[in-house]
Every structure is written in structure tokens, then in C-alpha cells.
Chains A and B, each alone.
Chain A
Amino acid sequence: MATREELLKAKIPCAETGIGIRHTLCDICAPSSHCGVDAYVKDGVIIKVEGNKDHPLNRGLLCTKGASNRQYIYRKDRIRTPLKRTGPRGSGEFTPITWEEAYETISQKLLGYKKEYGAQSVFFFSGYSKWYRPILQRLAYSFGSPNYGTESSSCFTSGLMAWETATASPTRPDMRNCRLFLGWAHNPYFSGYLGARNTERLKKQGVKFIIIDTMYTQTVEKIADLFLQPRPGTDGALALAIANELITNDWVDHDYIDAYVHGFDEYAQYCKGFHEGNVEELTGVPYEKVKKAAEMIHEYGPMSIRESSAPLAHHINGMQNYRAIMALSAITGNYDRKGGQIPSPFTYTHQASGYHTLEHEFVKEARKSSMAPPVGAQRFPLWNELEKEAQSMDLPRQILEGTPYPVKAVLAFGMNFRMFPESDSSMRNALEKLDFFVDVDLFLTDTSKYADIVLPACSSFEREEFKSYPGGYAYYTKPVIAPLYESRSDADIMCDLARHMNLDDPLLKGGYRACLEYILSPISYTIDQLQEADTPLKVPEFAPHQEFAAIRRGLDTPTGKFELKSEIIASHPEWGLDPLPTYRAPLDDADPALYPMTLTEGGRLPNALHSRLHDVSWLRTLRPKACAEISLEDGEMLQIGEGDLMVIETPAGSICVHATLSKRIPRGLVSLYHGYREANVGSLVGRSRLDPYSGFPAMRSNRCRITPLEKDPAADASEEKPVTGMPDGQPVTGMSDGQPVTGMPDGQPAAGMPDGQPAAGMPDRLPDAGTPQLPAGRDTAVPGQPSGAARKGEAHE
């Protein structure tokens, strides 16, 4: 019989240990996941997490990121109280203040700018978190400002706009019923992990898979029947070439096109420009593979397409590339078809769950027609037409230039200035220039250090919230622990501010729950019932997809059809945009002789989610350093070995990172994850390189060059010293307290690196395949470079 101490050590939930299990959700990644969590709680403290087996989405599973929730929630840099800045911007010098003082200061300031410069001079910004967004949007509108803008100005919305242009509705792939799955930049193993299980199940059931990706991902490795590897940002040319092959062979659905598709003839004519003679030159994909893809599309239907929300969009031609890919669904008759693409109107916070709420009304009724045009409206007219909110990518410019009107204050929930192109000289400078900046966050981030007032938000484990899931599910959580320190729910902060500013909005002033009671009024369950259930409930109002119903009824596009040629764009020639999904080359005009390689930012890692997990030390053990991946061939040619420091330069700037040599990367490509404070790849993306259709930044296709950092002999001598600094003087490990997180006892990697090096204390006599094939010039694991060597990087800037 185990002793109480043994049971406590094993964290067994039972009466003897006093450990209880409470249900909540993980909101570390996108709302399309938000897996159900079992939190092991003892004495009001979370001591362990695992997936909730009763949750309809994840059925007990969690991903790498979700498994780290406990460390994420208890990060040492959690903000404890409201703070008022006392030192210069960015210094991190603050003094604690009360909530009352914070609210009073913010209210007086914001109302003051409204009076002096108009309500549009106050910008309401949301970072990556999405659960509170309708509340924030209504707060902005009730305040009188059109300037509600979010991080989704650089993620997801480009694809949404492409679908809205074509069909006036969001869609999703009906993967479960397809026979052919076209996964375009689709790697669920490292992002949206539940998709990997579905993919594997369908593979076993005989579904065919075409995977298109710039890298040889885990999905290519495990799933692909056919793999096409275009260069970054050339997806549009590839899609048009596949279309041309389908059209030339008469493998299109003429009856469907005649009845439901607009602009086919002009589109077909345009596709003729992408053919055997130029497709490999344009995209890097051999024509034989284009032919094979077209053959598979012809042979196996229905086809559903998954286009990822970031990698395809982050190019100056991103939205047009999306449109070219989506066109494949229309010409093969797969839109609104079972097993194809299904129109999926949003239920709540951009999640299509198959039932209706009043989210749209809740936001729209607060918007006044007399408002000024939001930030970005002039520069990105299609964005403004479709999204009716600010394009945040234009915010730093407008703050700095003051045109067409000044922006004086920003109320931000989770801003990260490194998200913006040329971050340091654009958004960081803009934050310096702002009259008043409030940042609400869980953590005292580098961005929040620029704020005049910082407010502490709590995590999903410390609040209640509504969440909708696919398949008709509705969930209203309970807090599993009390908010840490003095932190509060973001939504409560918004409603508190509405009360303090005495806005004419009784609903907002009634609080988050009152808002949700209104929004959820079309469903049968009350919030009390949902919360009592403690697990998602299927709402009776759930209405599954009816095949061809939407397209027979007529879409909400100008022609009522799937528009290959957009009549919205055609009716605005002054925008200078193309009604057809035309293609232009993605790269900048820097001299290819000087910048021969292509830098791509943000290829997913299993242990990172933007910047929010970079300071979670468990996850950092999986990849302790900011590492850029390059091909073995390029490493050999440039004399860069595994773990070596190298400098990446674009016309916009340079950074210094460690190299990882990977067979997943083609020659000529450099791939680096984003959000590292010690190596901010965002600073290398030119600020003017924005997609004119969507406003999205070209994060994934920039000309660059890499050079090995010359080794300093003095630095070599002190190589055994732990790393304490990187080029910018920040702790390399990203921990706020400067502690190394790498867990390297003897200079060995703590947990295995995905680079073929056996991890610390692990065998070198694994099965045959386990013998690492070391590339030429590869050193043993590099525990880190001393700060002296690292500082040399500055000379290159």
C-alpha cells in the first residue's frame, strides 16, 4: 500500500491527497483548438495538467504547448498589480497602483483624447488572444472609435478575405468525407495537432493526400502520396498551373461552372499563362508533378483543401495566391459539396460551430455610421470593404506620420511590437511617440515596458468564459483557481472601463456574463446550464451542412455565384487591384547577387507559439536557442556547421542566430521562428512589404544572405562558460530572471534537440536508424557561445 507521501509525489487525485481534478480549457494556441483540460488542483494551486477525456474536441489529448500550461500560468514574470510607469519608456521601471487609480487614469486620459482629437484618436488593439474580442470591439465602438484592430491583421484574415471575395462566407474543408485531401502548407503535427490524428485515420481509410509545402515536413514524411515543393510565395503560380492542366484536359465540372461559377472564361484564359514551359522556373516544381497533381484531382473526388492561415498569406501576393488555390475547388465542383469545401458561417470568435449567436449584432449595433474611417482604410481598401475594422499593420505608420489623422492613445490587450515588420524602427518607435499607451497582459513583456499603465490579466484557468466548438458544442467554463495576485479577466477589465468612462452602453456596463446572455439568446441553454455541465454541451439548434443548399440558394456575392472574377474588386478600378486571382512574383527587388537566399519567418515548432512560450523553460529545453534552419548543402558551401552562429541579413537589417542543418529545408531557404527577443526575425522584414489586397506583411519571402560569424579565438577559449548574453544584451534563454533554462548539466542538451543529436545521458547505441548521420563540418552539441563572440554580431548591423 502506497504511503500518503508516495501518493502525493505521484499526484494521485484522491481523498487522501486532497488533490482534485477541475475542468477548463487551454487557450495558448488558436481558438480552432482550445482543448479541454483536467487541472489537478491542490490547495488552490495547479500541480499538473492533462487532457480532459470527456471533452468532445481533444478526448484526453494535449499537445506539447498545452502540456506546459502549469509553467505558463506560473511564469515568474506574471504581472502582479496594476502598474504606473516611472522610468523612461522601455526601462521597465514601474510603481504598483490600485485598480481604482488605474481605471481613473485610463478613463480620464481616453475621454480627454476623445474630446480634443476625436474618438478615432484612441486605438483599441487585441493581440493573439481572441476569446474577448467581441467585447473589445464593442467597447471601441461604444467609445466612438472605429479603431478596433487586432493581430489578425497579419494572420488568418487574408484567407478569410479570399473566401469572402469568392463566396461571401468563410468555409472549411469537409475532410471527413473527402477522397482526396489537398493539404497546402498543412503540417498538423506541429500546429493544430488534433488534425494529425484525423489525417492518419483518413489515410488508413484510403483517402489520397497531395501535400504542398516549401519544407519536407512531418506530414510529407508520413502522409503524402504526392509532394510538391514550391518556393515560398509561388503558390499562386502553382495553383494556376494545376488549373490550366485541369482545364486543358477538360477535367473541370462544366455543369457546375455554368450554374454556379462566375468569370470562368476570363480565368481559364489567364491560367494559360502557367504551363509546361514556365511552371518550374516560376515555382521550382517540376511540371511532371503538376501533371500528377491534376491527374489525382481528376481521379479522386471529392477533394477538400486545407490552406493554412499564415504561411500562404505572409507574402506580398498572399491573398491572390489563396484565391488561386480556392479556385481549384470551384472549377472541380467541390465548393458546397459533401467532402469538398463547406460554407461555414461563424458562430463566435471566428469559430464555425453550426449554430447561430448574436455576436455579429452585438458588435454591429454599437458601430455608428458617423465614425471616421479606421486606420488602414485608405491604404488597404479591400480590407476595409470586407473587414470594416482597422488594418493594424498600418498603425505604426499612422502613429508616426499622423495622417490621415493622429492616433494619440492605444489601449492594447497583449501587444507585441515584434509582430510588426521592421519592429524596432516602426512599432517600437511608434510606442515611444504615443501620448498614452495602456497594455494589458499576463506577463511584463518587452512591449508592456513601453506602457504608461500596465494591467495584469489572468489566464483561462483563472476566469470563466464562453467557447463554441465544431459540431454544435457550447462550453462555459468555471475558474479552476482564483486569479493569481491581483490579476483580472480581460473581459472584466473592458466592462469595468465601460463603467468608469460611463459609456452609453448598459450591456457592456452589465459585465461579461450579461453580454454573453444576450449573444447566446438564440440557443436553448442558459449560461447557468452550460456552466453547470462543466463540459461542452451540444446545442439543439445545431444545423449540419446541407449539400449544395447555399450555392443553389445563391451566395451573397454580387453575382450570387462563386466569383473567380471578383465583382467587388471590379467595381473599384481606383483600388488598382485585379478582379482575377492574378499572380506576381513574391520576392523583393533587392539584388539577388547580394542577397541570394530566401528568408522565411514563422515555420512552426512544436514547442513555441508566437512569443508567449519562449519564456517557458520546459519548452525551451526542446530548442534552447533561437536557431535558423538551413540545408546541409548551404551549410557546407558557406562553412556553417550545426550550432554555429551565423548572421542573417536583409536590406532591412541583420540578426545573429545559431544554425541548424536540416534535411527538411531546400537549398536557398533560411527558416527562423519568430518572436525571439534575442533574434527578432521581424526586424528583417521591410515595413513597406505589405500585400495590397490584405495588408498582410511579407514575413515568409524576403531576400537575404547568411554568413558564418567569425570565431573569436578568445571566445573559443572560454567556450565552456554558460551563455548569458546575446547580441542585444538580453539573456539568451529569454527568462526574465536571466536564469539559463537549458538544463545542461555538462554542456549537453537537456532534452533531445530535433537535430539528430542524442540527448543528455541517452544512449548512442539505439537501433540502426538511431545512428545520427552527421553532416560534414558538424561539431558536437554547442552549448552556447560566450557573450564576447555573440556581441560581434552587432558589428554587422
Chain B
Amino acid sequence: MSKMILDFDPVVCCGCGACAIACMDQNDYDPATGNAPFRTIFETQELEDKPVFSHYSVACMHCSPAPCVTACPVGCLKKDPQTDLTVFDNTDCIGCHSCAMACPFGAPSFNGKGKMEKCDGCYLRLKYVMEPACVRVCPTGALRMVTEEEYEKAHEEHSLVEEARKIAKEQI
């Protein structure tokens, strides 16, 4: 299986939030816990000669290399060898938040037991030939899961992954 890129186009997105809800359904998110959800949406507005809006759907950027993997002192985080998505097993998590400190995007969330959780790119669904929940539901096609080859050949003009790579490079 090739390396996979979960990309997002803020120009195509309409800010409906279906991705955020599908992610909650996939991951049994309970808002009553007060934990942060894995995927969130927001909109920015600017005024030029007419209103200009940008819509964002943001979760783990699955950086490669991933600073959270390096930061975790107990080895909970790793890159999935097949998909290169950043996955986790929080059995040994000590809740030190080192991953959150290292993450340029604030992706790690911490559950009621203080253990880290985050978007794992639905990597197991990929292995069973199913798209991630957010990609599957996205009505506009703003969220896409593509192979690295596909991405390098023709990523969208407004690629959030491309922007994220620049941000991560500056920070790390």
C-alpha cells in the first residue's frame, strides 16, 4: 500500500461541517466529556471589494517526519509503515503533553483519563478499501485521501497539506 496524503482544499470547502460530524460518529466523540474533537471547522471572513470567505476543516496533518512521534517519551505515536499516517497506541501514554507541545497544529487531544487521542487518518479503514469517514462524507470533495504519487503529480492549487508542510518546516 502506498503512502497516503489526507489533503484539503479551503476554496472548495463550504464550511458545512459534515466532516466534523462524521469524525465524531466514527470515533464515538462525546461532547459532554469536554474533550476536543479530532476534526474541527471554521470560517474566516475578510472584506475587499466584496466579502471573501475561507473555510477550513482541520485535524492532524500527518506530518512526515512527525514531530509528535519524536517528542513522545514513551513511544505511543508512530508512523504507520504502510500508509505513513501518524497513528497511536495510548496504552502507555503518561499524559505529559509533549506531543501537543511539539505539534505545530494543536492536533493532539486528551481524553478523560488524560491520555492522548487524535485523528489516525482512519488508517484501518484504508486497509479495508474504505475512505476515512471525513473524506467519505464530504459533499463538496474538499477533503481527499490520495496516494503520495497522486499528490506529488497534481495536488490542488489550494492544498492545506502544502501550507502545513511550510509551517512545519519553519517551526521544526
Would A621 and B31 be within 8 Å (CB), given that A6-B124, A606-B15 are in contact? Answer: yes
Which B21-72 residues have C-beta < 8 A from chain A?
A: 21-22, 24-26, 29-37, 39-47, 50-54, 56, 58
B42 and A758 contacting across the interface, CB-CB below 8 Å = yes
- How far is B24's CA from A665's CA once the two chains are assembled, in angstroms? 30
Is B125 an interface residue, CB under 8 A from the partner? yes
Q: Are A12 and B124 in contact (CB under 8 A)?
A: yes
Distance in angstroms from B170 CB to nearest chain A CB is 9
Residues of A within 8 A of B51 (CB): 216, 221, 663-664
Contact: B16 with A64, CB < 8 Å? Answer: yes
A168 to B26, CA, bound (A): 47
Tally of B interface residues using CB under 8 Å = 59
Cβ-based interface call for B136 (8 A): yes
Q: How far is A6 from B128 in the complex, measured between Cα atoms in Å?
A: 13
Write the A647-664 contact mask toward B (1 if CB under 8 angstroms, else 0).
000000000000000111
Tell me the bound Cα distance from A742 to B29 in angstroms.
Answer: 12
Given A763-B104, A769-B10, A10 contacting B125 (CB threshold 8 A)? yes
Q: Is the CB of A64 within 8 A of B17?
A: yes
* Interface status of B157 (Cβ within 8 A of chain A): no
B3 interface residue per 8 A CB criterion: no
Q: Which of A49, A606, A662, A744 has the most CB of B within 10 A?
A: A606
- Contact residues in A for B30 (Cβ distance below 8 Å): 617
A12, B104: Cα distance in complex, Å: 31
Contact of B18 among A63, A617, A754, A759 (CB under 8 A): A63
Distance between B115 CB and nearest chain A CB, rounded to angstroms? 14
The residue among B107, B108, B136, B138 with the most chain A CB atoms within 10 A of its own CB is B136
Q: How far is the CA of A105 from the CA of B39 in the complex (A)?
A: 50
**Are A750 and B37 neighbours in the complex by a CB distance under 8 Å?**
yes
Which of A49, A190, A621 contacts B16 (CB under 8 A)? A190
- Is B4 an interface residue, CB under 8 A from the partner? no
- The tally of CB-CB contacts under 8 A between chains A and B is 199
Q: Complex formed: what's the CA distance from A350 to B40 in Å?
A: 37
Interchain CB contact (< 8 A) of B37 among A49, A60, A197, A743:
A743
**CB-nearest residue of chain B to A760:** B36
**In the complex, what distance in Å separates the CA atom of A767 from the CA atom of B46?**
14
Q: Is the interface of B mostly helix, strand, loop or mixed?
A: mixed
Flag A62-103 by CB within 8 Å of B: 1 or 0 each. Answer: 111011101100000000000000000000000000000000
Which partner residue on chain A sits nearest B22 by CB separation?
Answer: A67
Which residues of chain B are near A743, meaning CB under 8 Å?
A: 31-37
A218 close to B139 (CB less than 8 A): no
Task: Say yes or no: A765-B18 contact (C-beta < 8 A), given A12-B125, A664-B51.
Answer: no
By the criterion CB–CB under 8 Å, are B58 and A762 in contact?
yes
Write the chain B residue with the least CB distance to A193.
Answer: B139
A622 to B41, Cβ gap below 8 A?
Answer: yes
Report if A742-B31 is in contact (Cβ < 8 Å); known contacts: A2-B127, A759-B41.
Answer: yes
Report yes or no: B21 in contact with A618, Cβ–Cβ below 8 A.
yes
A189 touches B16 (CB 8 A): yes
A771: which of B40, B44, B136 is its contact (CB, 8 Å)?
B44
Tell me, in angstroms, the Cα distance from A318 to B115 when the chains sit together: 56
B94 at the interface (CB under 8 A from A): no
Q: Are A751 and B40 interface neighbours, CB within 8 A?
A: yes
Any chain A CB within 8 A of the CB of B145? no
Question: Is A769's CB under 8 angstroms from B21's CB?
Answer: no
Chain A: residues with Cβ within 8 Å of the partner, total of 73
- The residue from A6, A10, A14, A757 contacting B42, defined by CB atoms under 8 A apart: A757
Contact call A617/B31, Cβ cutoff below 8 A: yes
Q: Which residue of A lies closest to B125 (CB)?
A: A10
Beta-carbon contacts under 8 Å, A24-67 to B: 48-51, 60-64, 66-67
Minimum CB–CB distance for A436 against chain B, Å: 38
Contact A62 B137 (CB under 8 A): yes
B 101-131 contacts with A by CB, 8 A: 104-109, 122, 124-125, 127-128, 130
Task: Determine the chain B residues whose CB is within 8 A of the CB of A754 once the complex forms.
Answer: 15, 41-43
A196 to B130, CA, bound (A): 24
Name the interface residues of A739-758: CB closer than 8 Å to any CB of B. 739-745, 750-758
Whether A769 and B18, one on each chain, are in contact in the complex, defined by CB atoms closer than 8 angstroms, is: no
- Give the distance in Å from the alpha carbon of A618 to the alpha carbon of B32 in the complex: 10
State in angstroms the CA–CA spacing of A330 and B12 once bound together: 35
A-B contact pairs, 21 of them (CB 8 A): A50-B22, A51-B137, A62-B22, A63-B18, A66-B18, A68-B25, A189-B140, A197-B139, A221-B53, A607-B21, A618-B24, A620-B31, A621-B24, A622-B41, A663-B53, A743-B34, A744-B34, A761-B109, A762-B105, A765-B167, A769-B10
Chain B residues within CB distance 8 Å of chain A: 10, 14-18, 20-22, 24-26, 29-37, 39-47, 50-54, 56, 58, 100, 104-109, 122, 124-125, 127-128, 130, 133, 136-140, 160, 163, 167
4 A-B pairs closest in CB distance: A752-B42, A743-B31, A759-B40, A10-B124
Q: Which residues of A contact B (CB under 8 A)?
A: 2, 6-7, 10-12, 14, 48-51, 60-64, 66-68, 70-71, 189-190, 193-194, 196-197, 200, 216, 218, 221-222, 606-607, 617-622, 632, 662-664, 739-745, 750-763, 765-767, 769-773
Given pairs A751-B37, A751-B39, A755-B42, 19 additional interface contacts (CB within 8 A): A51-B136, A61-B137, A62-B22, A67-B18, A189-B14, A193-B139, A618-B29, A621-B24, A621-B37, A662-B45, A664-B45, A743-B37, A751-B17, A752-B43, A762-B106, A763-B104, A763-B167, A766-B58, A767-B163
